[in-house]
Amino acid sequence: MPLVSIQASLHRAQAEGYAIPLFDVFEFHSIVGTIAALEKKRAPGIVALPSRWVEGPHAAAHVAAVRLLAEEAPVPIALMLDHGSSFEACMRALSLGFTDIMYDGSRLPVEENIATTKAVVRAAHALGVPVEAEVGHVGLGADYESLDSARDSLTDPATAQRFVEETGVDYLAVAIGSAHGLYKGEPQLDLELLAAIRQRVDIPLVMHGGTGLSEQQFRDAIATGIVKVNIGTDLMLTASRRMGEVAQSPKPSFFAYTAAISKAYQERCAYYLDVFGASGKA
Ligand code: 13P
């Protein structure tokens, strides 16, 4: 199918109580593995490129690879900019044909975050493209000692409501205790906070930093209102580990390395589709 925004699929997931994963990809074999998992599981899904890739020299080629592979798959696949670093990066992604955009101004003072998010929303909506933004800040797992150590940057429910009303954003990334990358301490989610945000905000809520959370934590977060979960580090680590195994094998070949990347992505993406309840929902 042609690339399509994930918005309709997210609204359906919200109504039916499951979540759709966003998978970060960085090169051809990770794209192949991710799309193979979506096909195999007959699931809707989001393939995402990070901002640096969109601002880099091979952006159009990466987009073309996702577009052509998605066209061959019989399931709805979105191409999303992950953590758009500026208004300009978001405009570049729009010009390249991304179906969904995330602008991340979560490190900025909230008024600045609102102002730039508003500008991105205005431009993207003129082209019919939905926008995700983040309020509160999802930090790094490497700095994560405990939920309490992350508390200062968690999302405030009243601010979330104002942010959504003022910006017109379509999906909201919230900081409820998850973090990007591997966690130094034990990850813990503040489900009461998530429930309070859900009461005030009815657009799809997004949880970043999926790597390292347990199946029960995913299920609890989804039951409390999360409908999109971002996954990156686990896919990269699994692929790296598998390439390490190839290196240790009696006859490591170039093709064994590239196949290991696709296979790792396919296996781990399929796992998350099952855990989130997205399998069979295409
Ligand atoms: P992890 O790398 O922790 O899975 O987080 C991915 C993410 O949130 C990308 O936006």
Q: Are 42 and 224 in contact (CB under 8 A)?
A: no
CB 189 within 8 A of CB 220: yes
Residue 149 has pLDDT above 90, yes or no: no
Give the per-residue pLDDT at 101: 98
Report pLDDT for 34. Answer: 98
Per-residue pLDDT reduced to its tens digit, 209-218: 999 999 999 9
Residues 6+ apart with CB under 8 A from 231: 21, 22, 23, 24, 210, 211, 268, 269, 272
SS3 content of the chain, % helix, strand, coil (to 5): 50, 15, 30
pLDDT digits (tens, 9 = 90+) for 92-138: 999 999 999 999 999 999 999 999 999 999 999 999 999 999 999 99
Give the confidence band of 150 by pLDDT, cuts at 50, 70, 90: confident
- Give the position, in ligand 1's atom list, of the atom nearest the Cα of 138: 8
- DSSP assignments along 131-146, one per residue: EEEEES---BGGG-S-
Find out whether the beta carbon of 231 lies less than 6 Å from any atom of ligand 1: yes
Q: Does domain 7-276 have CATH number 3.20.20.70?
A: yes
Ligand 1 centroid–CA 252 distance in Å is 30
Q: Indicate whether residue 139 lines ligand 1 (CB < 6 A).
A: no
Q: At what angle do helices 59-72 and 28-40 cross, to 10 degrees?
A: 20
Q: What proportion of the chain, given as a percentage, has pLDDT over 70?
A: 100
82 is an active site residue: yes
- Work out the number of other CB atoms within 10 angstroms of the CB of residue 59: 17
Tell me the C-alpha distance between 274 and 206, whole Å: 18
Sign of the C-alpha dihedral computed for residues 194, 196, 198 and 202 taken in this order? negative
Taking only the tens place, the pLDDT of each residue in 156-184 is: 999 999 999 999 999 999 999 999 999 99
Atom nearest to 178 CA in ligand 1:
3
- Quote the CA–CA distance of 253 and 171 in Å, as a whole number: 43
Residues of 100-128 as b/e, b for ≥16 C-beta within 10 angstroms?
A: bbbbbbbeeebeebbebbbebbebbeeee
> For 203-260, how does the pLDDT look when each residue is reduced to its tens digit (9 = 90+)?
999 999 999 999 999 999 999 999 999 999 999 999 999 999 999 999 899 999 999 9
The string of DSSP codes covering 9-53 is: HHHHHHHHT--EEEEE--SHHHHHHHHHHHHHTT--EEEEEEHHH
The answer to whether 230 and 21 are in contact (CB under 8 A) is yes
Token readout for 199 is: 């009461």
Q: How many CB atoms lie within 10 A of CB 184?
A: 15
pLDDT value, residue 215:
98
Which of the following is catalytic: 24, 82, 170, 190?
82
C-alpha 60 to ligand 1 mean position (Å): 23
Give the HSE-up count for residue 175: Cα atoms under 13 Å, Cβ half-sphere. Answer: 25
Q: Are strands 20-24 and 205-207 parallel, antiparallel or unpaired?
A: unpaired
Q: What are phi and psi of 202, to 5 degrees?
A: -110, 10
Question: pLDDT tens across 29-43, in order?
Answer: 999 999 999 999 999
Residue 52 is predicted with a pLDDT of 95
What pLDDT, on the 0 to 100 scale, is given for residue 134? Answer: 98
